[in-house]
Each structure stands twice: as structure tokens, then as C-alpha cells.
Amino acid sequence: MKKLFALILAVTMCLSLAAIAVPASADEIVINFPSIWVGTDSKAPYMAEMIEAFNAENAGSIKVVVEEQTDYQAYRDKIRTTITTGNAPDLCILDTTFDIKAFAESGKFMDLTPYLEDGWGENFTDGAFDAWSVDGKVSILPFEAAVFTPIYNTEILKAAGWDHFPATYDEFFKMAEDVKAAGYNVMGQMAGDNAWSSMLWYSLIAEAIGGKDVYEGGLSNPAFVEAAKVLKEMYNYTFDGAVSATASDVNGHFLARDTAIYLNGPWWIANFYKEDNAVDGVLLADVCEVATNPAYEGGKGDNGLVTTVQGFLAAAKQSDPAKEEAVVKFLKYISEPERVAQWALSSGAMFFVKYTPSPDTTLISQKVTEVSNNASYTILHVNGAFPTAFSTEFPAALSALILGEVDEQGFVDQLQLAIDMA
Amino acid sequence: MKLIRSDRKALYAFMAPALAVMILFFVIPVIYVIVVSFLKWNGISAPALNNLKNYALLMKDKSFSRSVINNIIWALVAGFIQVPLAMVMAIILSRKPKGWKFFRTVYFFPQVISGIALATLWRAIYNAEHGMLNGLLRAIGAGAAAKDWLGTIQTAFPAVLIYWVFYVGYYMVIMMADITTIDTSYYEAATIDGATDFQQAIYITIPLIKKTSLLTCVTLASVMGLRQFEQVYMLTNGQPANTTSTIVLYMYKKMQNANYGIASASAVILIIVGVVFIVCIRKLFEGRGDKPVVAKNVRRAVK
């Protein structure tokens, strides 16, 4: 018996070593790509399809190897560590929680400018690179876009006696009272984890109060104190335990149809169409409508739109020109307008690529696009407008605000202190 | 005993690999962390000397002082509540009562489950809306006591701390292993002298493990308490209002902000707190605890 176990162990070890040591063919260029667009991410299926097709088309010469990471925070930690230690992966996805400007200035990433100027740049939306280029050079490529528009459950509003979404925040809180009286939560809020939903609401409220110039002067703009007051008020209309709640609580409540309003990026739209989330055969999408950010009485906001870069693509600087060409070839491949159109259709995500939306685009995606196109101006989501320290401190400052540990000014001061320390 | 030259050479030869590994993976990183703690560095751009500013900022930051206090509480609870609990269990089970093997396995079982999994489980138990704890309270008619355990300032830190205190299996098996090495003649003599089980535990077992496994466990538990991360990260991420934060979590957040200077300064403070703790524990356990004292104790106890 011992011999049998020893044999099994030896065979297992040999197989493991063999799996690790599978060599690429001598001339094959391997592109290492740690990716977050995997697992349950709505972009994952089409991304996998594209990589498979690309590898098949370039069999023997280029191979993209995806290193899957499904947890956003773990992915960010990994990427931050590899870049800091000088081992940046061949290709990776960044978001606004990274100091994109510092990364772009670091010289650790490939300069994509010559390739973009050689015609590839035509594929991207006008001005897409303006905010992220350094000295006219683009090394971090804004790729996935996001706009944040409230989506509401028409049945819940109807049950509360409302046939339209409020146009102002005053009206919003009247509606909130009615929805609450009807036995529903008005919206999902969360101060736990990264307080993502509440941070989005904070951006929307700040935009409504401060308008397109809300970020001028940083957090000293009084709009942020006022917005904190409104956000705190919203916690009276959310579910129990919102202070420790996470995104899964917020999502779960909206899917359970006990919450009237949902706020998240367009990548979440695909979930509205999932059969799993249907109730009595009625898809969630069939009872949802897209709203615009309400106006604030006396505020400077005028039909503005909160947006962000949800995903940047960054490629490590290569010493081998052939590998650089291979990486660029792959980047061009996945940013081909036809493929991006298909990607947008399958995931609901939006991209900084000019493409003609498929006629099969979901109704909710079409409405989100319509709201975006009708916006007078766009401003960044707070987590992109302020340094990373803002986002890291936000949950602590918010929970302190909600629990009465600090007032609205104290909330803003706490965020400012975090920024100053960084 | 005086070492002869060849013995010394052998001694150095045996020590060399461990020493090299220690220098490479501990001494050099610690020196590196100390150096970085005096810099302003985002991990990308060139670092700049920041003198003592990182430390000055830490002293001003309330969330850091809260993290230090939380860690000290955690280490004290670990060393002086969790380990004594483990010791009681070890003493009871080492008397080999009926079913002792089953209970040894049950108490040790949580140690084989990852801390992340346990924290996830407890997060579900503490859930304000659908958690088992609030469900239980409602079921017994104490629904008024139900609350957002992890979202209330008064309950969040105790909630994070309390469940972990009862996971005593690791220290229990260490002490059980030590107790089994105690010469049974002590217990036999004490039994003949009329000492009860309790008296035997107090006057024989504890003094004999005090300087060995008990000291080891208190030191280990306190150090574990000082470097707590995953439980807090998973359960509360330091919230609400940073009241459950720990030094390592604080350090992690500063690294997220690409502020490696302050992160390193907080690591240096953690090392200092750790050293102070270990020195205090050593001092506390100094004193007599050897065999003659045991014999005297037993005689005194049964008089």
C-alpha cells in the first residue's frame, strides 16, 4: 500500500512539474496578461473568445496567456506590487484607484503614441487620451468607459404612487417618503467594504449641487459639505445594516425587487436580462427605467453626467521590439470597432472606441446611451477626480458621518486630511 | 562547558545557513523598511528624503492611534484570555476524560480552516438583516437587542474580537504536548497527599509549563494579536469610522494609497510595539517555576 501511495505521489509530482515546464515553441512570443475581465465579469465571455481567436490566428508566433484574478482588490494589490517592484506584466488593466498620472510619468510602460498616430488612434473617441497623456505621449490607454445613471424599478414607484422619476432632489425625498411608506427601500447604500454605491451617489449629488466646475478648488468647494448632508439623509431610506453593507447587499436588494433605485456602471446591465433574476418569467429589465440625475434646488448642476474610466490598458515597456509589436497587435485586435461593438452588446459595457452599436443592443443600454448623449457636460466620478487616498478613506469618513461621529464638515475634513497625508 | 576550536567551527557551520536566511529574509527587509520610513515614496517615482515627517503625520492621525490601541487590546486578549482558556482546555483534556480525543479534534478543527473562510462565515452570522445572531435574538423574543453588529461603533470591535478568542485549539495542543511530558510521579505523590485535581493543576501543571509552553503560547498569541489583518479586513475593513482598524490594516491602506513612506513608518512602530510586548511578557514570566517549587507547592496545598 505504501508503495502505491509513493507511486501516486511521484506521478502527481512529475505531472505538476511537467505542467509548469510546458515550453512555448522557440519563436513563440508569450504575452503575460493578468486580467480582471474573467469569471463572472460581464466582459469575460467575449474577452475569452477574442483571446482564443487571436491565439489561433497567431498560433506558433504569439500567445496571450491570461492569468485570471476575479477579486478586484486582490488584482489591484498584485498589479501595484508587480509594477512597484519593476516586474510590470506585459499587459494589465488599471483603474482610477491607481495614480494613473504617476504611472504614465514613470516610464515603466510602453509609449503607444507612434502606433496611435499611425492610424490606430482613429478607432478611439475624440479626446479620449487628453486627460491621461503626459507631454503628449500616451502610455496608459483609457479603454472601458462608465457613466452612472440611476435605474429604477417602475413597479415599486407605481406602488408608491409615482409614475415618473423625480426631477429634483426635493421631489426625490418626497418620493422616498412614499416608497418607504409603501414598504420598500428607496435605494441601496453601503459604507462597508469600499462604499462604492454611496460614493457614486455622492458624485451625483455633488454634480447636482456644484455643477461642471465642482472639482475646482478640490474639496474646499462647499458643494461637498452640502452633498454630504444629502447623502446622510439618504441613509434614512435604505435597508437595515447599510453601515456595514457591501456591494453584494446593494445588488441583492435590487435583484430581490425590494429596492426602488439602483446606481452602478453599465457593466451591470447584463444582469437585468438574466433569466436567473426573473420573477414569474418577468425580466428585471422589463420593469426598469433609466433616469437622469435629479437637479438640486439652488444648485449649479444642469443635466450633467458622472462618468469615469473604468479600465485602462497598460503594457510594460519591452526591450524586445518583436514583443512590443506583438503586444500592440493584440491591443489593436481587441480594440477593433467591430469587435468592440460585439463586446459592448454581450456585456453592456461601454468603451472609448468609436463603434456602431448593434441593433440588438439592449433597451436599457440604449437608454443609458441616450441619457449620456443628452447630457450637457460630464464630470468625473469622485474616485477618479481625487487621489486614491480619497477613496480609501471614504468608507471610514462616511460611517463616521452616518453614525454621528462627525458632522458634514468633519466628513469632508477627514477626506481632505487623508489626501494631505498622501 | 568550554568549547574547543573544532566544536566552534562545527557550531558556526551549523548556524550559517539559518543565519544567512535570517539576514536575507528578515534583517535586510527590516533595515529596508526603516530606511523607507524616512522617505516620501509612491513606489513609482524616485524617493525623496522626508526626515521624520512620516512619523509626525502618524502621531497626528487618529485612525493610526486607534489602530495601535486596538492591536494592544488584541494582543492582551490573546495572551491573557485566549491562552488561559486554551490552558484550561489542555489541562482538562490531558487528564484524558471520556471522549477527550473527540474534543481535542473539535477544538483544533478551526485551525485547519483559513482565517478568511472563518471571517466570511462570521460576517454572515453578524449580518444585520439575515444574520444568524439577530435571527436567534428574534427567535427568543429579544429582537430589540438585534443590531448591525459590525456597523455599530460600540459593538464592531468586540464582535470582530470575540469569536476569535474561542479558537483555542492551536495553543491547546501545544500545551497538551508539554503536559504529557510531566513526570507522572508528581501527580501520584500529590494524589497520595490528598491533593485534588484542581490543586494538582494549580501547583504542579501550571508551574511546570509556565516557562515552556505557556510562555511560548502567550508570546505567540500576543504576536498574532499584534499582526491581525485578514479577520478585520474581511469583516469590517476597519470600519465603522476606523474603530476596528489595526496597524497592519492601516499599513495596507497606506500602501493602497501608494504612500510607502507612511506605510513603512507604521511598520516600524508595529515592530517597536512587538518588541516592547515580548520584553514585557518575558519579564512577567521571570521567576521561579522549577521542580523544587512544585514539590513545596504541593506540600503547602495539602496541609
Domain residue limits, chain A: 25-147+308-363, 149-307+371-421
CB–CB of A241 and B242 under 8 A? Answer: no
Mean pLDDT score, A282-305: 94
Is the link from the previous residue into B240 a cis peptide, with omega within 30 of 0?
yes
Who's near B25: CB < 8 A, 6+ residues apart? none
- How many angstroms separate the CA of residue A89 from the nearest CA in chain B? 15
For residues A104 and A3, give the distance between their C-alpha atoms in angstroms, rounded to a whole number: 58
CB–CB of A421 and B256 under 8 A? Answer: no
pLDDT given at position A107: 86
Q: Which residue has the higher pLDDT, A11 or B44?
A: B44
- pLDDT for A406 beyond 70: yes
- pLDDT for A20 beyond 70: no
- pLDDT for A132 beyond 90: no
- How many angstroms separate the CA of residue A301 from the nearest CA in chain B? 30
Q: Is residue B20 part of a domain?
A: no
Sign of CA dihedral B32, B35, B38, B44: negative
Size of interface A-B (CB pairs under 8 A): 110
Q: Is residue B237 part of a domain?
A: yes
Q: Is residue B72 part of a domain?
A: yes
For residues A381 and A311, give the distance between their C-alpha atoms in angstroms, rounded to a whole number: 13
Instruction: Provide the residue type at B165 as one letter.
Output: V
Cβ–Cβ under 8 Å, residues A358 and A46: no
Cβ–Cβ under 8 Å, residues B159 and B126: yes
Task: Characterise A189 by phi-psi region: left (phi > 0), alpha (psi -120 to 50), beta (else).
Answer: beta
* Burial label, B144 (beta-carbon count in 10 A; 0-12, 13-18, 19+): exposed
CB–CB of A105 and B253 under 8 A? Answer: no
pLDDT given at position A5: 67
Q: What is the ipTM of this complex?
A: 0.84
> Which residues of chain B make contact with A421, given a CB cutoff of 8 A?
57, 61, 259, 262
Please write the tens of the pLDDT for every residue from A150-199: 999 999 999 999 999 999 999 999 999 999 999 999 999 999 989 999 99
Q: Where are the alpha helices (DSSP H) in B166-214?
A: 169-179, 184-192, 197-200, 206-209
Residues A25-147+308-363, CATH architecture = 3-Layer(aba) Sandwich (3.40)
Task: Characterise B34 by phi-psi region: left (phi > 0), alpha (psi -120 to 50), beta (else).
Answer: alpha
Domain around B174: 35-113+153-302
For residues A318 and A327, give the distance between their C-alpha atoms in angstroms, rounded to a whole number: 9
Residue A245: band (very low, low, confident or very high) from pLDDT cuts 50, 70, 90: very high
Please write the tens of the pLDDT for every residue from A259-288: 999 999 988 888 899 999 899 999 999 999
pLDDT given at position A360: 86
| Average pLDDT taken over every residue of chain A | 92
Q: How many helices (H) and strands (E) does chain B have?
A: 18, 2
Who's near A230: CB < 8 A, 6+ residues apart? A169, A205, A209, A296
CATH topology match: A25-147+308-363 vs A149-307+371-421: yes
- Best residue of A239, A317, A403 to probe chain B, by most B CBs closer than 10 Å: A403
- pLDDT for A14 beyond 60: yes
> Which residues of chain A make contact with B67, given a CB cutoff of 8 A?
none
To which residue does cell 471610514 refer? A396
Radius of gyration of chain B (CA): 24
For residues B62 and B235, give the distance between their C-alpha atoms in angstroms, rounded to a whole number: 21
* Residue B298: closest CA among B206, B191, B198, B190: B190
Give pTM, 2 decimals: 0.87
Residue A327: band (very low, low, confident or very high) from pLDDT cuts 50, 70, 90: very high
To which residue does cell 471571517 refer? B119
CB–CB of A388 and B257 under 8 A? Answer: yes
For residues B112 and B115, give the distance between their C-alpha atoms in angstroms, rounded to a whole number: 9
Say which CATH number the domain at B75 has.
1.10.3720.10
Q: Is residue B43 part of a domain?
A: yes
Residue of A83, A240, A392 with shortest CB distance to B257: A392
pLDDT given at position A411: 97
Q: Give the Cα-Cα-Cα angle A333, A339, A342 (nearest 5 degrees).
A: 160
In chain B, how many domains are there? 1
Q: Is residue B213 part of a domain?
A: yes
pLDDT given at position B14: 92
Q: Could you tell me where the beta strands, DSSP code E, fall in A85-198?
A: 91-94, 140-148, 151-153, 185-187
pLDDT given at position A131: 83
CB–CB of A192 and B236 under 8 A? Answer: yes
Q: Hey, is A377 helix, strand or coil?
A: strand
> Which residues of chain B make contact with A101, given a CB cutoff of 8 A?
none
* Residue A168: closest CA among A276, A295, A314, A273: A295
- pLDDT for A21 beyond 80: no
According to CATH, the topology of domain A149-307+371-421 is D-Maltodextrin-Binding Protein; domain 2 (3.40.190)
Q: Hey, is B228 helix, strand or coil?
A: coil
Residues of chain B with pLDDT under 70: 1-4, 287-303
- How many angstroms separate the CA of residue B113 from the nearest CA in chain A? 20
